[in-house]
Amino acid sequence: MGKTLTEKDLDLKFKYRIMQEKGGEMIVRCFSCATCTLSCPVRLADEEFNPRRIIRLALLGAKEEVLRSPFIWLCSACYLCSERCPQDVKITDLMIALRNIAVKEGVLPSSLQAQLDLLYKHGRLYEIGEFENKKRVKQSVPTLEEKRELAARVLEFFKLITFPVEK
């Protein structure tokens, strides 16, 4: 964050889109008191994380900057900010709403995209190789199978992956 925004960078309807998402209904109540930022344990670890700034950018309509920000993915969901907000904004739920909008817009962090790709290809977060199953047999544990087709259908249904399931 920190780029100078111009009028062409703003989507003035973005706050209304957020308000339609579960968890984002109260965003317009925020008056930038900074209670959320001062309450945030992530802020203690990373000075750049600033829930108030994210909310302010969202209210201004800086949609691309907000959805592409790694900060919407850093919220630890501790709810301290939500419990302390004098305007009952429910900041934790708002961060989840922003993540949901980002996913719907196809804006995902590379690490999350990599996990979705693995789920699509293997039906789990890692490929099951011959080595894993040999080890399981030695320990008298049932072997694992890839259940790729089911995972792929779920990912396609929720539009998290747009390429077709291979038969």
Structural domains for the chain:
8-104 (1.10.1060.10), 110-157 (no CATH)
Supply the pTM of this predicted model: 0.78
Task: Tell me what pLDDT residue 157 has.
Answer: 83
Task: Tell me what pLDDT residue 43 has.
Answer: 93
- In the predicted model, what is the mean pLDDT of the chain? 89
Q: Over the chain, what HEC string results?
A: CCCCCCHHHCCCCHHHHHHHCCCCCCHHHCCCCCHHHHHCHHHHHCCCCCHHHHHHHHHHCCHHHHHCCHHHHCCCCCCHHHHHCCCCCCHHHHHHHHHHHHHHCCCCCHHHHHHHHHHHHHCCCCCCCHHHHHHHHHCCCCCCCCCHHHHHHHHHHCCCCCCCCCC
pLDDT digits (tens, 9 = 90+) for 82-128: 999 999 999 999 999 999 999 889 898 888 888 888 888 888 888 88
Listed residue (97, 91, 95, 90) closest to 70, CA to CA: 95
Residue for token pair 């209210």: 59
pLDDT digits (tens, 9 = 90+) for 45-81: 998 899 999 999 999 999 999 999 999 999 999 999 9
Output the CA torsion sign for 136, 141, 145, 147.
negative
Q: Are the C-beta atoms of 165 and 152 separated by less than 8 Å?
A: yes
Listed residue (49, 87, 65, 47) closest to 10, CA to CA: 65
